[in-house]
């Protein structure tokens, strides 16, 4: 019964963060994904899941160390989440499609984003821009490498991936990356 209660708490926390992501315009409802480490497994949103409507039925538990038959219903980014959990001590991962972050990744075309706002400089430092197709091994390797050294990264033309010891921390890094990208974009625009 304790394991069942823990899973209920877990998907409810995922639902809370998913709603915040949608409500703050950091992701469209059925894009992006969220996961939490659960021992040797991860609990992740299912493919096509609306992040503002997460329920017990819209998350799936899969092993971290190997593929599973349940991968076919799990998020298309499950391989990326697995690789991050394998190579970092992350307890949670948030992948969002933050508009200013995506825009700056397109304008920057590689390297990293250097925040100019005081909070971004203090809490983030440079934010790497990584590349790879959705759910690909290339993206999994790039994300894993970047997130072993940073709290978040921006996938070129796709969105942010942030890690934390828990969902709240991963969410905060997601919002900070987007805030820093928004400030940088507006500043650069005003200077033109």
pLDDT in tens, 60-76: 999 999 999 999 999 99
| CA distances in angstroms from 135 to 61, 74, 123, 163, 190, listed in the order given | 17, 11, 28, 17, 36
Percent of the chain exceeding pLDDT 90 equals 82
Integer Cα distance of 77 and 81 in angstroms = 6
Contacts of 123 (CB under 8 A, 6+ apart): 151, 173, 176
Looking at residue 101, its pLDDT comes to: 97
Q: Residue written as tokens 């709240």?
A: 168
pLDDT in tens, 126-183: 999 999 998 899 999 999 999 999 999 999 999 999 999 999 999 999 999 999 999 9
Would you say residue 8 has pLDDT above 90?
Answer: no
pLDDT in tens, 89-133: 999 999 999 999 999 999 986 799 999 999 999 999 999 999 999
Q: Count Cα atoms within 13 angstroms, Cβ side, for 112.
A: 14
Looking at residue 6, its pLDDT comes to: 61
Beta strands at 127-130 and 152-155: parallel, antiparallel or unpaired: parallel
Q: Where are the domains of the chain?
A: 2-191
Architecture of the domain spanning 2-191:
3-Layer(aba) Sandwich (3.40)
């Amino acid at each position: 019964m304790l394991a069942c209660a823990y899973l209920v708490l877990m998907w409810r926390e995922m639902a809370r963060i998913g709603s915040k992501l949608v409500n703050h315009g950091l992701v469209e409802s059925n894009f992006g994904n969220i996961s939490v480490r659960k021992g040797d497994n991860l609990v992740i949103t299912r493919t096509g899941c609306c992040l503002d409507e997460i329920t017990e039925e819209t998350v799936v538990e899969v092993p971290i160390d190997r593929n599973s038959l349940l991968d076919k219903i799990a998020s298309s980014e499950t391989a990326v989440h697995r690789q991050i959990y394998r190579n970092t001590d992350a307890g949670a991962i948030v992948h969002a499609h933050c508009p200013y972050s995506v825009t700056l990744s397109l304008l920057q075309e590689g390297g990293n984003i250097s925040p100019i706002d005081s909070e971004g400089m203090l809490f983030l430092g440079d934010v790497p821009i990584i590349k790879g197709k959705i759910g690909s091994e290339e993206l999994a390797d790039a994300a894993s490498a970047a997130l072993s050294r940073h709290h978040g990264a921006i996938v070129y033309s796709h969105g942010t991936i942030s890690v934390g010891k828990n969902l709240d921390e991963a969410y905060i890094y997601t919002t900070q990356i987007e805030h820093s990208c928004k400030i940088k974009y507006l500043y650069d625009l005003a200077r033109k």
